[in-house]
Amino acid sequence: MSTPFKVLVLCTGNSARSQIGEALLQTRGASRGAGVVTGASAGSRPAPRVNPYAVETLEARGIAWQGRTPKSIDDVAGEAYDLVITVCDNAQDACPFFPGARAQVHWGLPDPADETEPEAARAAFARTFGARAQVHWGLPDPADETELGQAAQAIHDAT
């Protein structure tokens, strides 16, 4: 049995983008050619709750995500990850760095939580989901950390 390929998705609040990334990895990225993929997420300044539109968006696509809570980077600091993906895309956000990962890449995404009008928020969360829905299929498997980072970044650049 192979060792799981561990992916951590980081952002500021861990309430929207990173939660959607974790949900996709946990439910649709369960395996790849080289074995099992596990996903986690955290934030540098965790929000008090997962954004309800994130939960609604995931549930509308068959992914049960209610009852989750945002986590701090400190909550996952003891884990070793193969790939860390930061998803912050707001100039004033300080995207976190996670030491010890084999590779870290930045997949900037607009924060759908910035939308406050319900229909605009639902549309923004749907775009965020759609932007990442196929990412898990292309997770790289190179042994070299530089190649891993380059291959992972290429996935984002192609979307």
CA distance 14 to 6: 18
Burial (CB < 10 A; 0-12, 13-18, 19+), residue 4, is: middle
The verdict on whether 86 is a catalytic residue reads no
Among the listed residues 34, 63, 95, 123, the single catalytic one is 95
User: CA-to-CA distance for 20 and 124, rounded, in angstroms?
Assistant: 12
What is the spatial distance between Cα 140 and Cα 157, in angstroms, rounded to a whole number? 14
Catalytic residue among 11, 23, 37, 83: 11
Q: Is 78 exposed, middle or buried (0-12, 13-18, 19+ CB in 10 A)?
A: exposed
Is residue 71 part of the annotated active site? The answer reads no
| Residue of 88, 109, 113, 151 with catalytic role | 88
- Catalytic-residue membership of 95: yes
CA atoms of 137 and 30, how far apart (whole Å): 10
Task: Show which residues are catalytic.
Answer: 11, 88, 95
